[in-house]
Structure 1
Amino acid sequence: MRADAAANHRAIVSAARRLIAERGGDVPLSAVAEGAGVGIATLYRRFPLREDLIRAVAVNVRDEVVGLIERHRDMVATDPAIGWPALVRALAAFRPGATIPGIMTAASEIIADRPDANEALEEEIDQVRSAVFDALSGPLEAAKEGGALRADVTATRFMLGLAALTRPLPVGGPKEPGQEEWLTEIYLAGLRPDGPARSTA
C-alpha cells in the first residue's frame, strides 16, 4: 500500500471510530469522509462496502484494546495492587462503552439486511470479542491471585461493567469535571475483594 493510501486508510478508520463513539453505528459515510479530510470517492475506494469499514474499525479497536492489556500484563503479574488498577484506568480511558456498542449495532444492522452475505462479518466480530477476552484472562487471574480483584469477576462481567461505566452521557445533560475518572475509581473499589458483597437475593 502506498504511503498516501495508508495515511488515508488510517484517517478514515480513526474518523469512523471517533464518530461511531459520538453518534452511534449509523453515522453517515459522508460524515466519516469529512472527518477524515478525504473525499467520499476516496472513502469508497478504500472501503467499497459499509461492512468493510465496520470490520476495519472493529479490528482497530481490538488491536488498541489488546495492546493496552499486553502493555500492562507484566505489571499486573508482578505487582497486582498497582498493575491491575493501572490497566483498568487505561481501559476506561479508551471508553469502550462509547465505541463498541456502535460497532455492534452497525454490524447487526448489516447482518440483518444481508444475512447470507454477512456471515463472515458476524464471525469476525465474534473473533474480535474473543481476542479481547483471551488477552484479558491472564491479567484477570493474576489480579485475583494477587488479592487485587474479587474471585467472582469474569471477563464478561468485567467488560460489561466497563462498558456501562464508559457509556456516553445524554447530550445536554449535566456534566461534572472528572466524572469519568471518579466513576472508574468507584468501579475499582467495588472490584476489590474487600468491596461490597454480591447480593444473592
Structure 2
Amino acid sequence: MSLKYAVLAALLEGEASGYELSKVFDVSLANFWPATPQQLYRELERLAQDGLIAARVVEQERRPNKRMFTLTETGRADLRAFAAAPPRRPTAIRDELLIKIQAMDGADPEATRAQIEERMSWARGKLARYERVRERLLDGRTEDVHLAEAERIGPYLTLMAGIAFEEENLRWCERVLTLLKRRAPLTRRG
C-alpha cells in the first residue's frame, strides 16, 4: 500500500493543511503508517493532480499563505473501494532491533540490554501518547458509549491496535531481559 490511502483516510477528519496532516500522522497514524512531512507534501501534490483531493489557498497576514486540502467525491470513492478490498499481503515485521538480536551471540551483552531498554522506553513513550489520544477521543465517555455513538470509530480501532502493539513490545522486551539475565552466568563462563 502506498501513502496515498493513509492520506485519504486522514482527510476523512475534514479539511486540513499539510502541516495539520503531519500532526495527524504524528498523533494517530504513526502507530501503523509513519510518514515524514516531506513525504506527505509530495503525496498531497500527487493526490491533487489525480483529482482525489482538492486544494484551496488561504491567504494569511504576516504568514505565508497555506493550502487546505479536502477529499473529493472521486477520492472518497477510491478510499471506499480500497477499504472494501482484502489486503494484498499479510503484515510483515521489518525491525532493525530484531536483526541485532538475531546476531547478538558473541556481542556485548550490555549493549544488547541497553538496546532492549531503549525499545522499552520508546514503547512506554508511545503508550503515554496513545493514552492521551484515547482520552481525547473518548472525551469523558466510556469506550462502549464512544463505540456506540461516535460518527467514526476507525480512528479508535486503529488506536487500539497501536496500544496492543506497544504493550506486546513491552512484554517481549521484559521477557528478553529476563532471559538475558538468566544467561548472564553462562556468558561469563564462556
What is the TM-score of this pair, normalised by structure 1?
A: 0.36
Bigger Cα Rg: 2
TM-score computed with the length of structure 2 as normaliser: 0.37
Larger RCO: 1 or 2 (CA < 8 Å, sep 6+): 1
